[in-house]
Structure 1
């Protein structure tokens, strides 16, 4: 499907997923209204302006998630709105308000602008697996995680997991508001997103891989779910273009142990300085299962983990964040 003649909006456009989304939308001939926090910051705008088609069809705007109506001029005339802007932090020093307000109020502000603009046909919101499987009890190998799962709000509050809580509440409020105001909305729930970086600064999820390789965290026995940033960006476009798309979509390409990640990395790049202690057979935590059925119904074909990891490492090397 071509986006020729269609105008869409991407919020938080300088972010990792959003930069790829803008790139793929421009490639499909869409005209893109993209919001950034500051038009004067080259870290936010230079890589976007350098994209193919940007000169002709990319329009950048400043907008503040916490300022009511600030998205009205951006969304005016747009058929589709991709709301990706939301803070990510697992830092113990991040306060509840720092994460909660932009996530919850920001989402409602964007949706408010969508209601006021009759041109908007569908809104696609970037959520996270944080609002799917944060539970009090650890997941077991017999569990099959799918779109019917919801995180435990009380547990997130007790554990002071403010990022998780911000995602749970933002989703709750979004569904309530969309229902009351007749918004056609789709939510996407990616896990740890990795892959090549377009923006100049390192983002949280790619840093997970960097820390792992540089052995800056004691990750040995854990596991994580990963998905390719290009698959996530593509899923956003499919969620807008496929008429039958609705509800929530879980985006998980691979669930894999940290030691396995390092094994794949050292097979791809034998010269990587990976500690020997990761190379033996370790007692591994049993892996839970994930349903990809609904994502595949959108036409998403998940990139293999080895390809994603290779492209992530290449990108880190190119940006001089990793040398070997």
Structure 2
């Protein structure tokens, strides 16, 4: 059996990725930041083929721990960067674990001969740190795809800036190392929606859905969303997991970074659908998904399905 190491494999997106690999016959090693916190990973134990699942404590800023984690893996998925909107110290909570963690990871995998494929679960922030607001001079209705000029701003949320810089580190690593023994690919989902597989209530993605469902604005970010009725490009968390698995198991995708996106709706219509009401406007596709459809054979589910899943 091949072994997949999934950093962050018990999180909101990571749990679905873990399930994909178990369902397809892999041994799966999942990292957790605190092995004593069983609530972080006990939901994985009920998956089919969980006898092939291993849980390992990991600090992504610790190179030695990273070496141990990836040492016997054929495939490694990096889905372990923090998604935090309300923070106290952006350096220690966001920039260090995201950027330094990525740099350490790249150094370690370059010295691990067993690895055949690496997939980064990045973010739309790798392309536009202002998301869900438009990039640069674009409008809310202007489309965006992988060929567009990437946009970043020091005024963007530190989470988005950290994800952008981490993606730059990956791109620079690929440019500087033309003779790697493995392939690196990335997937960059827009707003990920759907129901968490764990019973934990600290998922940022889940909390954003909760706030929109209940018209709650506890911070300036959410207030701006409601005040401007901002359109959100969304993608089903199951689709993110499927795309990650497909990217990991298809050769010839080295250096590619796929936008994962389904439909775009305004915040008011997301609120309506989360409360089992019909949206007022038809969906549009702002963040294009043609590359993922072409290379990965993806068929993205309508977002209403994921919103219903969350609200139920």
Tell me, yes or no, whether TM beats 0.5: yes
Distance 1:251 1:34 in 2: 23
Unpaired runs of 5+ in structure 1? Answer: 271-278, 315-324
Is this contact kept in 1: 2:129–2:156, CA < 8 A?
Answer: no
> Which range moved further: 236-245 or 141-150?
141-150
Report the equivalent of 2:309: 311
Q: Distance in 2 between matches of 1:68 and 1:222?
A: 41
Deviation of 1:42 after TM superposition, in Å, equals: 1.3
In structure 2, C-alpha distance between the alignment counterparts of 1:225 and 1:48, rounded to whole Å = 29
1:133 touches 1:150 (CA, 8 Å); kept in 2? no
- Aligned residue in 2 for 1:175: 171
1:16 Cα deviation after fit: 0.5
Q: Give unpaired runs (5+ residues) of structure 2.
A: 218-222
Alpha-carbon separation, structure 2, partners of 1:150 and 1:96: 27
RMSD: 2.3
Whose Rg is larger? 1
> Given the alignment, which residue of 24, 29, 32 partners 2:25?
29
- Residue of structure 2 in register with 1:225 after alignment: 233
Pairwise CA distance, 1:178: 3.2
Q: Secondary structure at the match of 1:262?
A: helix
| C-alpha separation in 2, matches of 1:265 and 1:142 | 23
> Any conservation in 2 of the 1:133–1:149 contact (CA below 8 Å)?
no
Structure 1 runs of 4+ with >4 Å offset: none
Match of 1:195 in 2: 194
Count of aligned pairs between the two proteins: 293
| Superposed counterparts of 1:1-324, under 5 Å | 5-55=1-51, 57-91=52-86, 93-134=88-129, 137=136, 139-140=138-139, 143-153=142-152, 155=153, 157=154, 159=155, 161-181=157-177, 182=180, 183-202=182-201, 203-217=203-217, 218=223, 219=226, 221-246=229-254, 247-266=256-275, 268=276, 289-297=286-294, 298-314=296-312
Instruction: Give me the whole-angstrom Cα distance separating, in 1, the residues matched to 2:8 and 2:274.
Output: 31
* Structure 1 CA distance for aligned equivalents of residues 237 and 124 of structure 2: 15
1:189–1:251 Cα contact (<8 Å) kept:
yes
1:276 is aligned to: none
SS state at 2:242 partner = helix
TM-fit CA distance, 1:25? 0.7
Deviations 1:191-228 (A, max 9, x none): 11111211221311121111111121242522211110
